[in-house]
A and B are shown apart, each in its own frame.
Chain A
């Protein structure tokens, strides 16, 4: 018993020694290659490429970070990857064509958007079972969950709405029209706002959770970039409520926004057709998946610089980070 504990302590010590600072692991889904790239935060290099099902897009970690869930839309399921061994260890049912999903804050359920079937599916992770589904608008995609887990927000791309779903009753309570082709919904860390990007509309709508109305619409104007190329998709909001980052698709930019004033402060030039992003655990770096240039941009948020682009698989789509 004692020797086991000692061994564990020694092992932990080794790990610490091997990972000075705040090392973490970055996972990127590659839609075209049917793979997930694993990138080490210290070396900023791909250390592993994991074969998964067809058309991997949405990607997120389990609550204890031991598992990585990947939507493999063309195989109508979720692949489950062990984040230590980088092996696919199982699958979860998802309903048809899962695209994007969100983990409930208790870690029990995955809320999954079924793009082809106008519904949101709820899967119990431990039971490996679908527990219920909710009918929503045409082409559901974006999925946001309130910090208390009580409200789920789904966006539907052709219906152009944010649907607010009460997770106790699993019923829609509010429908809010937003800009054309909404792609992602994110709650602020205090749960007071939901930010919704509209790819074709070229805007981000900020919705008040209390009133369930749009309180502000953020517009973008990038010098030298045609209006059509300004297509907001991925949204990342910092925990401290100060900054927001919005991936702008084919304009190859990530917008930096003041979360309090909604003012667009700056744009980072990244790779081509930037889609989704993830922040490092310390929120000092941002990683963006750039679909057309097939790379991952690394942005240093403290110095405000794009540090590097890391070649990954083809059509990188989503990013998840394990601390």
Chain B
């Protein structure tokens, strides 16, 4: 009752103040009521088997990512109610073996132009290449691949997800700060594992770490639930890590969480484990509660009934980025929103104690990266003392001279 009264009052106020909005609604040919700016956002993902974490402490979730997008929409909608902006999230799923173009063409032909892509890199590139998407704003909420920020660039794509390089630079800075400079790198067999490892190699060079040994994890990946698993892992890991040149820290490259969890406390020499397991370098973790993070964790858990994962966080951030730009510009035109996000007045709040601004050369959202223990936050990068002329955040990931996107 109070709320509907309120809504009417505010909408009238918003109309009087922001003349621009009617023009936008008119050009979009929207059938929207005169007093509301409709903001339809499409969330797109591809169907597939659920991610199964090795630990039994984490649930097998079928709704990774989309829950973050839904929370972002709910946050946008609260602000929207005060401004006469009506947000809507249309959830689109590409079948597991289906064609992305076939699923998305009708959606784009329907007029969808604000797209949150919870997709892997190949799908993201396919989406960006569609003719109908040429004037859309696509926000990458999932893929960490460095090539999207360095050579396989697309001007319509903005990256809310951090790159692998940002994660590995964050870890390398921390190792350098602790003077744990001698690294034993353990890499899984998948391409995804190798890409993470290549990012780490680059980070090691940038922050002067020595990778004294590199080995590929060759054992078969195990089921998460097996009664004698602990005993087998003990033998395998001890043998695997024996005879390696002296090192300070074992860095594991296993972003898919297939084996890395077996390594801590089982190495032949007593050494810490860091990377994708152990001391994790990540954009989000349940252990993070600084800078108001508690509130986001609470809101998410209330909505989803589980912890917020990094993929939920980047989807939340992607939807919020669009919402923030719409609030400030009073438009839904993708080109104007993109220009605003790339500009100096964009200051997205993502519970990291910083403004999330956009790197103009490759459309990468700036992040602080967490170094998270299994139960508590250990540190946040950039580490103190790593300086940059623009912002310290640009010590993480690909800097302007290192990227060939050339958007500015």
Contact indicator A201/B327 (Cβ below 8 Å): no
Question: Which B residues lie within 8 Å of A163 (CB)?
Answer: 82
Contact with A along B28-51 (1 / 0, CB 8 A): 000000000000000000000000
**Residue A174 is within 8 A (CB to CB) of chain B in the complex:** yes
Question: Which A residues lie within 8 Å of B392 (CB)?
Answer: 226, 228
- If A138-B79, A171-B6, A180-B355 are given as contacts, then 11 extra A-B residue pairs at C-beta distance below 8 Å, sorted by A number, are A116-B299, A134-B2, A135-B2, A139-B295, A158-B75, A172-B6, A175-B82, A177-B327, A180-B347, A228-B354, A228-B391
Complex alpha-carbon distance, A231 and B9, angstroms: 33
Known contacts A180-B349, A227-B391; decide if A138 and B82 are in contact (CB<8 Å). Answer: no
Interface residues of A in 4-43 (CB under 8 A from B): none
Interface residues of A in 101-141 (CB under 8 A from B): 115-116, 118, 134-135, 137-139
Complex alpha-carbon distance, A200 and B75, angstroms: 18
Question: Which B residues lie within 8 Å of A179 (CB)?
Answer: 347
B202 to chain A, nearest CB (A): 24
Question: Which A residues lie within 8 Å of B3 (CB)?
Answer: 135
Question: Which B residues lie within 8 Å of A228 (CB)?
Answer: 353-355, 391-393
**Residue B10 is within 8 A (CB to CB) of chain A in the complex:** yes
B1 to chain A, nearest CB (A): 11
Contact indicator B78/A200 (Cβ below 8 Å): no
**Residue A67 is within 8 A (CB to CB) of chain B in the complex:** no
Contact indicator A160/B295 (Cβ below 8 Å): no
**Residue A208 is within 8 A (CB to CB) of chain B in the complex:** no
Interface residues of B in 342-368 (CB under 8 A from A): 347-349, 353-355
**Residue B216 is within 8 A (CB to CB) of chain A in the complex:** no
A30 to chain B, nearest CB (A): 17
Residues of A within 8 A of B (CB): 115-116, 118, 134-135, 137-139, 157-161, 163, 171-175, 177, 179-181, 200-202, 226-228, 231, 250
**Residue B292 is within 8 A (CB to CB) of chain A in the complex:** yes
A-B contact pairs, 12 of them (CB 8 A): A118-B78, A134-B2, A135-B2, A137-B79, A158-B295, A159-B78, A172-B6, A173-B9, A174-B13, A181-B349, A200-B354, A226-B392
**Residue B5 is within 8 A (CB to CB) of chain A in the complex:** yes
Contact indicator A172/B391 (Cβ below 8 Å): no
Contact indicator B391/A200 (Cβ below 8 Å): no
Residues of B within 8 A of A (CB): 2-3, 5-6, 9-10, 13, 75, 78-79, 82-83, 292, 295, 298-299, 324, 327-328, 347-349, 353-355, 391-393
Q: At the interface, is chain A mostly helix, strand, loop or mixed? A: loop
Complex alpha-carbon distance, A228 and B384, angstroms: 13
Contact indicator A116/B328 (Cβ below 8 Å): no
Question: Which A residues lie within 8 Å of B349 (CB)?
Answer: 157-158, 160, 180-181, 200
A153 to chain B, nearest CB (A): 14
Contact indicator A200/B347 (Cβ below 8 Å): yes
Q: At the interface, is chain B mostly helix, strand, loop or mixed? A: helix
Contact indicator A115/B295 (Cβ below 8 Å): yes
Question: Which A residues lie within 8 Å of B79 (CB)?
Answer: 137-138, 158-161
A173 to chain B, nearest CB (A): 7
From B6, B328, B348, residue with most partner A Cβ within 10 Å: B6
Contact indicator A231/B2 (Cβ below 8 Å): no
Known contacts A173-B9, A180-B347, A228-B393; decide if A116 and B295 are in contact (CB<8 Å). Answer: yes
Query: CB within 8 A of A160: which of B292, B299, B327?
Result: B327
Question: Which B residues lie within 8 Å of A159 (CB)?
Answer: 75, 78-79, 82
Instruction: Select from chain A the residue with minimum beta-carbon distance to B74.
Output: A138
Question: Which A residues lie within 8 Å of B10 (CB)?
Answer: 172, 175
Question: Which A residues lie within 8 Å of B6 (CB)?
Answer: 135, 171-172
Question: Which A residues lie within 8 Å of B391 (CB)?
Answer: 226-228
Complex alpha-carbon distance, A247 and B374, angstroms: 34
Question: Which B residues lie within 8 Å of A161 (CB)?
Answer: 79, 82
Question: Which A residues lie within 8 Å of B83 (CB)?
Answer: 175
Question: Which B residues lie within 8 Å of A171 (CB)?
Answer: 2, 5-6, 9
Complex alpha-carbon distance, A227 and B394, angstroms: 13
Question: Which A residues lie within 8 Å of B327 (CB)?
Answer: 160, 177
From B79, B82, B298, B324, residue with most partner A Cβ within 10 Å: B82
From A134, A161, A200, residue with most partner B Cβ within 10 Å: A200
Contact indicator B348/A180 (Cβ below 8 Å): yes
Question: Which B residues lie within 8 Å of A139 (CB)?
Answer: 292, 295
Complex alpha-carbon distance, A177 and B392, angstroms: 28
A226 to chain B, nearest CB (A): 6
Complex alpha-carbon distance, A222 and B2, angstroms: 45
Instruction: Select from chain B the residue with minimum beta-carbon distance to A163.
Output: B82
Instruction: Select from chain A the residue with minimum beta-carbon distance to B302.
Output: A116
Contact indicator B355/A201 (Cβ below 8 Å): yes
Instruction: Select from chain A the residue with minimum beta-carbon distance to B330.
Output: A177
Contact indicator B298/A177 (Cβ below 8 Å): no
Instruction: Select from chain B the residue with minimum beta-carbon distance to A172.
Output: B6
Query: CB within 8 A of A201: which of B5, B13, B347?
Result: B347
Complex alpha-carbon distance, A161 and B76, angstroms: 12
4 smallest A-B Cβ distances: which pairs?
A: A180-B347, A175-B82, A159-B79, A181-B349
Complex alpha-carbon distance, A177 and B10, angstroms: 13
Complex alpha-carbon distance, A82 and B22, angstroms: 56
B82 to chain A, nearest CB (A): 4
